[in-house]
């Protein structure tokens, strides 16, 4: 069962990575970025992480935690890169906040100014504990 669980987690992570542009689309051979679909896969992994807390082996828990952290960081980086060329809504205030987030997400406990903390809340709302 451990191997099957890890394979499931890795398949979900691979799908998320594909929509974050890290893995080329098998049909086109080119990387593509679709943040909404990537977020869906990351949210599913986060749900699995929460719902299985205390029921996983140390290996399963370690892999799931590592995959989630990696995908969340990649998501923040991809959203900072892709937000700049596509100003659909008030992108100007969010673009710098999203772009600054990878550095700000590492300490997680350091206080931030109000605009950054609002942006942080948006990210935390989706992935935070």
Report yes or no: 86 and 105 within 8 Å, Cβ to Cβ: no
What 3-state DSSP class applies to 109? Answer: coil
Band of the pLDDT at 56, cuts 50, 70, 90? very high
- Total of domains in the chain: 1
- Rounded to whole angstroms, the Cα distance separating 7 from 1 reads 10
Give this prediction's pTM.
Answer: 0.60
Percent of the chain with pLDDT over 70: 62
Instruction: Say whether pLDDT at 4 is over 80.
Output: yes
- Rounded to whole angstroms, the Cα distance separating 45 from 67 reads 9
What's the domain range around 59?
2-127
Residues contacting 78, CB < 8 A, separation 6+? 20, 21, 33, 35, 38
Per-residue pLDDT of 8-42, as tens digits, reads 999 999 999 999 999 998 889 999 899 999 999 99
Which segments of the chain does DSSP mark as H helices, in order? Answer: 2-19, 35-51, 58-83, 91-105, 114-127
Band of the pLDDT at 103, cuts 50, 70, 90? very low
């Amino acid at each position: 069962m451990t191997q099957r669980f890890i394979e499931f987690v890795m398949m979900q992570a691979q799908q998320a990575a594909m929509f974050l542009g890290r893995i080329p689309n098998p049909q086109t051979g080119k990387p593509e970025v679709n943040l909404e679909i990537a977020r869906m896969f990351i949210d599913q992994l986060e749900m699995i992480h929460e719902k299985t807390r205390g029921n996983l082996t140390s290996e399963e828990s370690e892999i799931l935690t590592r995959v989630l952290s990696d995908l969340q960081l990649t998501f923040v980086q991809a959203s900072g890169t892709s937000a700049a060329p596509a100003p659909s809504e008030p992108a100007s205030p969010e673009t710098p906040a999203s772009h600054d987030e990878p550095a700000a997400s590492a300490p997680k406990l350091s206080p931030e100014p109000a605009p950054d903390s609002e942006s942080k809340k948006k990210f935390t709302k989706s992935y935070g504990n």
